Chains A and B, each alone.
Chain A
Amino acid sequence: MDDHELSAQLKELDGKLRVRVNDPGKTAILDAQQWKNVFHDITPAEIYRRFAGAAGGNEVKLNITIGRDTPNATINLFHNHEFTGDLASKAKSGLDFIISDGSARLVGADLSAAPTGQSVAKGYMRESAKLFKDIDIKELTLFAERTGGYAWAKYGFQPPTPDRWHSLQDDIARRVPTGAGRIYFQDRVYDITPSEQAAIQAITTAKHPDTLKHLTMLNRVLFTEGDQEITVGKAALIGTKWEASLPLEDGNPAYERFKAYTDDGLARGRGPRGVAA
């Protein structure tokens, strides 16, 4: 892609995808080499096509800022919404990523104002990770907290260093004191079985954070909150705060797990139904 083709594509995508160069002097003009420094051979039209395909019919927009002399970038994927009536207002929601030093970081995600659903959320994550992998980004990182303390572990994210893993293990162990047969969650106490206690203890003493995902598979329901079933695994992880990393490498168990849970189910058809209770 040369300068002419880049310019033509951006003109075609006007109002849907915008690209600017990060230049405090505001004098830099985007050229094809700057684009290639970050996105290699993937064109703006291709990027837009991928995210639009995951948007579930919603109109998605992209703002991309790329470094003038560095392979760094920010990607802001968003929806605009206008609410009418007595509470007329405008809202913006979406995902924000920073690409820097060979890794991508999700720094903001909010689809609350968007008429989207689960498939759009996982579709955006699937396409984001795929894009990053395609441009040789090695890992996707974020800070997990609140419901994310559970959800990101479910999707294969792990603490990136032994210290951070041990810190998360300590947080979980405080909720499930050794031998107590109980789990403390949001100022309440719930009974757990000896098997669950032993399984959690095995995870909170394990050397490798690869075991974290198994905690999210403790699916016995402790209680229901609205339409949410709070399982043992959720009670162990919701509200934990931890630095999370996902290696973007085919064959890596963490990334294979991420792909499994962000899979749209279209490529390989539907499997048998009614597996989990």
Chain B
Amino acid sequence: MMATVDSGFAQLLADAAHVADKRGQPVQLVQLRNSYDFFSALGFSDEDILPMMGLTSHSLRLIKAL
């Protein structure tokens, strides 16, 4: 048995999630929307959230349209 969860394996998963966020498939858009709602509820404006979440104006429109 291998002893640990290798960092390289976690890196593959992290990279895959990064690609998924950028592609913005509907299932990931829901996750982005959840976080947008969380940050909004904390009182942040769209101008705050945009750079914080690394979103474009276009992507913010897609997320808010959900």
- The residues of A with any CB-CB pair to B shorter than 8 Å are 74, 76, 93-96, 106-112, 116-122, 125, 142-148, 150-152, 154-155, 193, 195-196, 198-199, 202, 211, 213-214, 216-221, 229, 231-232, 234, 253, 256-257, 259-261, 263, 265, 268, 270-277
In the bound complex, what is the Cα–Cα distance between A106 and B1 (angstroms)? 11
Contact B28 A270 (CB under 8 A): no
CB distance from A169 to the nearest CB of B (A): 16
Question: What chain A residues lie within 8 Å of B28 (beta carbons)?
Answer: 260-261, 271, 275
Is A268 a contact partner of B26 (Cβ separation < 8 A)? yes
Given contact pairs A261-B17, A277-B54, A214 touches B7 in the complex (Cβ within 8 A): no
- Shortest beta-carbon distance from B6 to chain A in Å: 4
| In the complex, chain A residues whose CB is within 8 Å of the CB of B31 | 213, 217, 257, 260-261
* Inter-subunit contact A276/B54 (CB<8 Å): yes
B-side contacts of A106, CB under 8 Å: 5
Asked if A108 contacts B54 (CB within 8 A), the reply is no
Q: Within 8 Å CB of B59, what residues of A? A: 274-277
Whether B16 and A150, one on each chain, are in contact in the complex, defined by CB atoms closer than 8 angstroms, is: no
Also in contact, A202 and B42, with CB within 8 A (given A220-B52, A257-B31, A260-B28): yes
Chain B 5-17 near chain A by CB (<8 Å), digits 1 or 0:
1111111111111
What separation, in Å, do the CA atoms of A66 and B32 have in the docked complex?
A: 40
Please pick, from B5, B22, B54, the residue contacting A220 in the complex, using a CB distance under 8 A.
B54
A187 to B31 CA separation, bound complex (whole angstroms):
32
B22 near A214 with CB under 8 A, answer: no
Q: Determine whether the beta carbon of B12 is less than 8 Å from that of A111.
A: yes
Q: Which residues of A contact B3 (CB under 8 A)?
A: 107-108
Measured between beta carbons, the chain B residues less than 8 angstroms from A217 are: 31-32, 35, 53
Contact A109 B23 (CB under 8 A): no
Is A220 touching B42 in the complex (CB atoms < 8 A)? no
Contact between chains at A219 and B1 (CB < 8 Å): no
Q: A270-B25, A275-B55 are in contact. Are A211 and B38 (CB under 8 A)?
A: yes
